[in-house]
Amino acid sequence: MRRTTAAWAVLALVVSLTTACSTAEGSKAGGDAVPVTLRIGTDDEPGRPAADQIQEFARQVQALSDGQITIEPVWKADGQGQRDWDQRVARMVVNGELDMGLIPARAWDTEGVTSLRAMNAPFLVNSEELMAQVVSADVAADMLAGLDTVGITGLALVPESMRQVFSFGEPLLTPEQFQGVTIRAPRSDTTYALFEAMGATVADFQGDEFREGVDAGAVAGAESSFALAGSLPRPAVATGNLNLFPKVNSLVVNSEKFAGLTEAQQGILRQAADATREWAIGAVIDSATAATGYCADGGTVVVTNADNPTAFEQAAQPVYTQLESDPDTKRFIEAIRDLKATAPDPAAVTPCTPPLVATPTPAPSTGKAPLEFPEGVYRTELKAAELLAAGVDPSSANGLDGISTLEFKNGRWINYRTVPVPGDCTGTYSVEGGRLIVMIKPRCGGSLGMWFSAAWTVEGSALTFTQLKSDTDSQAFIDVDWGNRVWERIG
């Protein structure tokens, strides 16, 4: 559930930066070169760290080229609900369907590229500071050079965050606890080898398949980051001091497309990529700080004892045996170990639990509203025409058109939009004075805090929100998005 028309407008953002042709003295893009538009793809959408990196790259290219090079983002380039989502975007760049891509480095090991596997070696890069050192070192260029084998030119490795394990039941604190469980993780041969070495089954579940697996107890945990954990099906328990590996994105361009640019244009892309990398280093939030924010958003953080990290490293040795059988990968791992020898230890993560959600006893209500809010799962259908009538822009209205599902449980709500946007919005709720108080998370489009309040009625399985009031959002949007409609209970 998006917060504002303005926030949804971000989803329609295309960075179109073309300006006038070069002057008589020649432009930064190179003499009389024809203006160029380059389409860059990602599986992500605006609001995610990778999307921010693309937008920063576009800004850098604009400034360096005097607008002669336009970077056009293609969000969710692989479509919705697909497995192998990172690899699908990578293949689009390889086959020239996209000019450029921002592809997680982990994804390339399924696509015939082995040179980036050291970046994903288990427990090797274990801190944000070390991650920053590695992506800036000579070894980064050496690893990117391996992309040449599939017709891709690597411009930069751009850091995003460290990755941890999030469990949906008991915390996963020892290697033995992974034996026989199923973990959800983005597709990567190296990532999968780690979990399989500990006896786990791993798959890249998506959408309803992922959520239903968690609800049924079939999926015990997920490999993710504090920054993205809000998109998990439910608040989870993070093993906060177990940094598996970093998520680092590779900023790449189709080699044939790159060769067709002028030397000056190529130089601008490389310079903009370097600047984007440095910008991203400054934007990274360390895991200790991110863990505290995760708790405030409804998660729980635990830590392993002093001996367990060593036990995890021992469990990962079969992965290193396989990785180091390749001389280049072994050399890259050794280079990273040299950097690690002088890097500071990761900041200590403090265990924490989410703050309690206050649910005061409601005052007696009138009409058909029950004294306690009826928890459960509810579904309705939004029509683009309704949203357009409420002032939502056409692109956002079309994006919201379809089935919307709300779950209310234990003081938290989550929205699942099965068509066409996967559910990714959540917050807390309470009942005060007979009214439902809905709080929203920052990732849904605004500041953490109260979104709106409402009364409600229940008739059989039908829930209806009435008397909606928001001081932080468009009243017309709140009325059409939540109110003036029947939400049918389905669970």
pTM exceeds 0.75 for this model: no
Residue spans of the chain under pLDDT 70: 1-33, 80-81, 306-307, 355-371, 393, 395-397, 399, 416-425, 441-450, 471-473
What pLDDT does 32 receive? 60
What pLDDT does 12 receive? 38
Cβ-based neighbours of 466, under 8 Å, separated by 6 or more: 454, 455, 456, 457, 483
* CATH number assigned to the domain with residue range 5-342, chosen from the 4 options 3.10.20.30, 1.20.1280.290, 3.40.190.170, 3.20.19.10: 3.40.190.170
The domain ranges of the chain are 5-342, 376-489
What pLDDT does 341 receive? 96
Q: Are the C-beta atoms of residues 324 and 332 closer than 8 Å to each other? A: no
What pLDDT does 396 receive? 65
The predicted-structure confidence for 26-76, as pLDDT tens digits, reads as follows 444 544 668 999 999 999 888 789 999 999 999 999 999 999 999 999 998
**376-489 architecture in CATH?**
Beta Barrel (2.40)
Distance CA 270, CA 252 (A): 10
Q: Are the C-beta atoms of residues 127 and 325 closer than 8 Å to each other? A: no
What pLDDT does 59 receive? 97
What pLDDT does 421 receive? 39
What pLDDT does 365 receive? 39
What pLDDT does 275 receive? 98
Distance CA 189, CA 87 (A): 12
Give Rg (Cα) of the chain.
Answer: 24
What pLDDT does 1 receive? 36
Backbone phi and psi for residue 367, each to the nearest 5 degrees, phi listed first? 70, -140
For residue 272, give the nearest of 58, 68, 429, 39 by alpha carbon.
58
Alpha helices of 284-372 — where are they, by DSSP H? 287-296, 308-315, 317-323, 327-342
What pLDDT does 424 receive? 53
The predicted-structure confidence for 251-291, as pLDDT tens digits, reads as follows 999 999 999 999 999 999 999 999 999 999 999 999 999 99
DSSP states of 18-46 as a string?
Answer: --PPP-TT-BTTTBTPPPEEEEEE-S--T
For residue 481, give the nearest of 386, 373, 379 by alpha carbon.
386
